[in-house]
Chain A
């Protein structure tokens, strides 16, 4: 069955405020797709549009190729897991799971079969007669998943469902969600501000900022090849060094970074000579010893933090720019201390040049 979701030139406005800028995006059938962004970036609005709680101002939402314009929330082939789960507290666990089937007029015995099967799927056999209040946070989470799956949706929408859980449980639920998605084969659309969640579970991630999708890519590409300054600094940690473009040939760009000299890195070919640009280098790409073809910049150490397997250094460049550097603990030496000079080298293939000032 085709359960793709297509945001067809969708725009959402609330009065004068544009929550979602014109967006055209197709989420493949059976894909685990995440929207990642800070709060207020419009990701929940997208979920509300897909589920039918609001209709886009312009454009359309298509599920499985069918236009959803004018289709009310209760007639859409979607099912949502809410941030606060929104289980019905006055119903038992089984009644919660069976609610969607009850609405569809499924017979009592069929409903019972379905809820038993789903309780087994989420490893909570035999808790059908319990009250919701008798369950722990993780169990409630799984009941919410079972309830959403009971209606056999084409698309499952997840609105930061793990944010209320503690760290251990959250990591466990990530694996379980991924497993359930593989087992059921339905399209998962996941909303989160937690990049760890987005990167570990998703097939593809859309990074959003201020109502606009910045980049859509698989997690590795997103990390290695950010297309905008926002993505570069929002996904993972990054150091941005600003300068002016002095040379740009095919995919390699040289920047004049003032007191830091000339530095170069890869680009996507959208920077022009003479324009402002920012060079992004990840903390783990710095080396203390320069090898052939590496670029080196000098800095002064501000702080050394020992974190077990690795060290993080906070340093300042002569241009008074803060840098964060991550080194393997084996590289520790007495010379790495507050106030000491350090020379940092990086491979130009590991650095990305993005047009603009880089402040986001």
Chain B
């Protein structure tokens, strides 16, 4: 890499570019992470005791999660709900992505993409708040359903996990649509026609031709959505009730309300490990490599 940069920009600029990348990577990504790993293995001490005889490495912070039944339940619920969010987002996004890539005329596709993107020009917190309003007990959605006679009395969308799921599916839909859209768009339309021509119905055409082709895109979308959902803070904080807390909220509490950074770091790392495990699983299930995803 250095020799390429050197031949193009000269050695001075090449050293500068590499140096800046190195500072960014080491100083802002790797070192803070390592510091957090270090924190997570040490006890939470008063400043005077740091470096003293009590400051020893142990797994105590990690054990806390497994001994605290409530935290453990929230941990697994977060993972499970993120899987659910990922699945729901996939189900919603795939037809949209297929429509945009293969069915819509270029003008319609451009219009739809614009309509999908415009809401994302607004801050995530505000967007989530708008869902808070829509889903409120006396909000417009309940009013509409009541007006249509579909329900007898308003539903408390925001008391369980429902509001969080809806909010997250909405918040991360673009991260799912775009990779799938890109993948499907690169499929030769004649492949779809050929499958139809050989007698395949729509379900089989998708199952045997479109989805296998779009697999890397689907995997990328699932991974991104899962990571964002598992690491989300704003959506569960706003749309969730005390009964549907997210694991990120527990981590936040350890850091900023409990003041126990060591405990928070251990929790954060457990979440990271599970997420990496999930990615590895998805990649294995979809039989895609890192190279396919980077495309």
Measured CB to CB, the residues of A under 8 A from B are 51, 53, 72-75, 78-80, 82-84, 86-88, 90-91, 99-100, 103-104, 147-148, 150-151
Contact = CB atoms under 8 A, between A and B. Distances in A.
B194 A151 contact: no
Interface residues of B, number: 17
B207 to A, nearest CB: 11
B201 A74 contact: yes
Interface string B174-201: 0000000000000010110111111111
A278 B167 CA distance: 74
Given A88-B209, A90-B213, A79 B197 contact: yes
A84 B196 contact: no
Contacts of A83: 190
A86 B200 contact: no
A80 B190 CA distance: 10
Which 8 pairs across A and B sit closest by C-beta, in order of nearness?
A100-B198, A86-B190, A86-B194, A103-B199, A73-B196, A80-B197, A82-B190, A103-B200
A188 B201 CA distance: 24
Nearest to B204: A103
B138 interface: no
A86 B199 contact: no
Given A90-B212, A99-B208, A103-B204, A80 B194 contact: yes
Contacts of A90: 212-213
A110 to B, nearest CB: 15
8 contacts: A73-B196, A79-B198, A82-B193, A83-B190, A84-B188, A86-B188, A86-B194, A88-B208
Interface in B71-86: none
B17 to A, nearest CB: 39
A180 B88 CA distance: 50
A74 B196 contact: yes
Contact of A147 (B198, B200, B208): B198
Contact of A80 (B193, B201, B204, B208): B193
Given A84-B188, A90-B213, A151 B193 contact: no
B191 A88 contact: yes
A53 B204 CA distance: 17
Nearest to B212: A90
Contacts of B198: 74, 79, 99-100, 103, 147-148, 150-151
B126 to A, nearest CB: 42
A267 B191 CA distance: 48
Q: Is the interface of A mostly helix, strand, loop or mixed?
A: mixed
Given A88-B209, A90-B213, A103-B204, A74 B199 contact: yes
A73 B198 CA distance: 9
B212 A78 contact: no
A88 B190 CA distance: 10
B210 to A, nearest CB: 11
Contacts of B195: 88, 99
A333 B191 CA distance: 58
A23 B248 CA distance: 68
A87 B194 CA distance: 8
Contacts of B212: 90
Count chain B CB atoms within 10 A of each CB in A51, A72, A103, A104 and give the residue with the most.
Answer: A103
A151 B191 contact: no
Given A79-B198, A99-B198, 8 more contacts: A74-B196, A75-B199, A80-B193, A86-B191, A99-B208, A100-B198, A104-B199, A151-B199
A70 to B, nearest CB: 15
Contacts of B201: 74, 103
Interface string B211-255: 011000000000000000000000000000000000000000000
A86 B193 contact: yes
A82 B208 CA distance: 19
A73 B195 CA distance: 10
Nearest to A80: B197
Nearest to A159: B190
Contacts of B209: 88
A241 B213 CA distance: 57
A104 B199 CA distance: 7
Contacts of A147: 198
Contacts of B194: 80, 82, 86-88
A73 B200 CA distance: 9
A135 to B, nearest CB: 16
Nearest to B200: A103
Contact of B190 (A84, A91, A99, A148): A84
B211 to A, nearest CB: 10
A103 B213 CA distance: 19
